[in-house]
Amino acid sequence: MSHKRIPKRKAAIAVGGVAALGAAALLLPNANASQDGATDAAAPKTLKSADASDLASQLANLLGDSFAGSYYDADKQQLVVNVADGDNNVVVQAQKAGAAVRQVENSLSELKAGAQTLKAKATIPGTSWSVDPRSNKILVTADSTVTGTKWDRLESTVQGLGTNMATIKKSAGTFKTFASGGDAIFGGGARCSLGFNVTAGDGSPAFLTAGHCGVAEEKWSDSQDGQPIATVDQATFPGDGDFALVKYDDPNTQAPSEVNLGDQTVQITQAADATVGSQVFRMGSTTGLADGQVLGLDATVNYPEGTVTGLIQTNVCAEPGDSGGSLFTQDGSAIGLTSGGSGDCQAGGETFFQPVTTALQAVGATLGDGGAGAGGAGEQAGGGEQAGGEQAGGGQGVGNEGAGQEVGGDEVGGQDVGGEGAGQNAGGQEVGGEGAGQGVGGEEAGAGNEQAGNGQNTGQNGAGQNNGQIQNN
């Protein structure tokens, strides 16, 4: 079976529509510069959230059983580490490393044991739980379908864990995956969003999206009823995650690494683990850009289709069609892929994400195009250690020495900014082929041009954004 060859200017698919300007304003350059100038080893360091994630991974290894979780205090720009015993040596080690230390009642092993009890006794569709290090408890949530005997069973199980072990709350919506019929990337009657472009283990160009999208359809297109441009290679859902690796059918596809926000782009430089309390941004084909905070890690969600484990819980909104879209940080770290949740972007709700680090490790892929690395650091330029490296995808600080993450290349949408004549993307790479040399958002970029794929200009002031040829507006 032959597949349509993807022209260079159609090499990448955008994750969503034109961004909401309010959230985008938070992503202006240099807004998150580190202010780490502390000289007192015992005083908590001022850290960016990505640096806090790295420090948390190091301290988890250093403190061993005494480590009871950590979170990022965004107001103080500090990492707070929970310590489950009164060992002064442990406290001193954490303080010397630059963390603020808090002694807590529940150890991480006790919290994980509580989560296992919930799994055994209260695996009810419409429920979820995750460890919340800020409260040092398990956060249990039930959607609107959990009533009557189901609610009684859940409440009884939570109470059985002990008075200070878990909290329970109701969600107004229902837990569901966010795939839908409509626009964006299309597979049969399903619509999802592209997450991050990657290089597969065999060197071929590919992208990550939600696993429930990958198991729903094998072939994916960049336009409704269009010819397939990519084929699912691996997909996991339900079970240990919600992720899929989809390979582009044209092996010459170029897919560098950016998230297109409409009025600006964010260069994706590494994959990183989520940190509770840190600010994150989600881009999706239905609702565009939204932001919020990480609420919990290692979340278990009981969808109607089955139980999914190992997710990130946030208060970032999402809606049908946003599934698979990218979750990232202000400084360009890829964090997650949109899985599902409850609510919408009017009423709010809980949303869950597949960690990118574990997805990359599971499918043996590398973030980016496998070629030119944006960072240039030797330890981050190669893909050799990523799949099985000490820190890649296993809850460690990806991006440290040894993580081996590809930092260059992959653009999550926004390469074809305005069809032929747009010329240059934000990083200066030619994406329009015949180029008039306009940058992203340039007044002439794409105005009146063919808008490859859909023929629609979704930008304003001639910005010429066509959302990567996957969204009709």
| Domains observed in the chain | 1-33+106-415 (no CATH), 49-103 (3.30.300)
- pLDDT score at 86: 66
Percentage of the chain with pLDDT > 70?
67
Write the CB contacts of 402 (distance below 8 Å, at least 6 apart in sequence): 379, 385, 389, 390, 391
pLDDT band at residue 77, thresholds of 50, 70 and 90? Answer: very high
Residue with tokens 């991006």: 399
Least confident segment among 120-129, 148-157, 160-169, 463-472: 463-472
Task: Assess whether pLDDT exceeds 70 at residue 456.
Answer: no
For residue 222, what pLDDT is reported? Answer: 79
Mean pLDDT of 120-138: 96
Average pLDDT value over all residues in the chain: 74
- Pairing mode, if any, of strands 166-170 and 137-142? parallel
Residue 363 has pLDDT above 60, yes or no: yes
Distance CA 155, CA 173 (A): 19
Does residue 31 surpass a pLDDT of 70? no
The mean pLDDT value for 85-101 works out to 86
Average confidence (pLDDT) over 91-107: 92
Specify the pLDDT at position 182. 32
Whether 393 has a pLDDT exceeding 60, the answer reads no
- Residue range 434-452: mean pLDDT, rounded: 35
Predicted pLDDT of residue 157: 97
pLDDT exceeds 60 at position 466: no
Q: Is 416 one of the catalytic residues?
A: no
Question: Tell me, what's the pLDDT at 26?
Answer: 52
Residue range 136-141: mean pLDDT, rounded? 96
pLDDT tens per residue across span 170-185: 988 899 887 643 337 8
Flag whether pLDDT at 39 surpasses 70: no
212 flagged as catalytic? yes
**Residue 169 pLDDT greater than 60, yes or no:** yes
- Do the strands 78-83 and 100-103 form a parallel or antiparallel pair, or are they unpaired? parallel
pTM: predicted TM-score of the whole model, two decimal places: 0.69
pLDDT surpassing 70 at residue 406 = no
- 150: burial class by Cβ within 10 Å (0-12, 13-18, 19+)? middle
Cis-peptide into 251, omega within 30 deg: no
Q: State yes or no: pLDDT of 37 exceeds 70.
A: no
Distance set, CA 21 to CA 71, 260, 264, 387 (Å) = 28, 13, 10, 36
Instruction: Examine the pLDDT at 236 and tell me if it is beyond 50.
Output: yes
Mean pLDDT of 68-72: 95
Q: Mean pLDDT lowest for which of 305-319, 348-362, 433-447?
A: 433-447
Alpha carbon distance 409, 291 (integer Å): 24
Amino acid 360: pLDDT: 97
Return the higher-pLDDT residue of 114 and 471: 114
Mean pLDDT (whole number) for 28-56:
64
- 3 is an active site residue: no
Q: Single out the catalytic residue among 242, 250, 322, 369.
A: 242
Instruction: Tell me how far apart the alpha carbons of residues 32 and 26 are, in angstroms, rounded to a whole number.
Output: 9
Confidence band of 347 (pLDDT split at 50, 70, 90): confident
pLDDT confidence of 23, banded at 50, 70, 90? Answer: low
pLDDT digits (tens, 9 = 90+) for 252-291: 987 767 787 777 778 898 999 999 999 999 999 899 999 9
More confident residue, 241 or 434: 241
Section 399-417 average pLDDT: 34
In terms of Cβ atoms closer than 10 Å to its own Cβ (0-12, 13-18, 19+), residue 364 is middle
From 53, 212, 250, 257, the catalytic residue: 212
The SS3 of residue 166 is strand
Q: Which of 128, 223, 323, 326 is catalytic?
A: 323
Q: Name the most confidently modeled range: 19-33, 38-52, 251-265, 378-392.
A: 251-265
Q: How confident is the model at residue 369, as a pLDDT?
A: 66
Residue 90 pLDDT exceeds 50: yes
Per-residue pLDDT, averaged over 307-311, amounts to: 97
Average pLDDT over residues 359-385: 58
Structure-token match 């150890």, residue found: 107
pLDDT given at position 27:
53
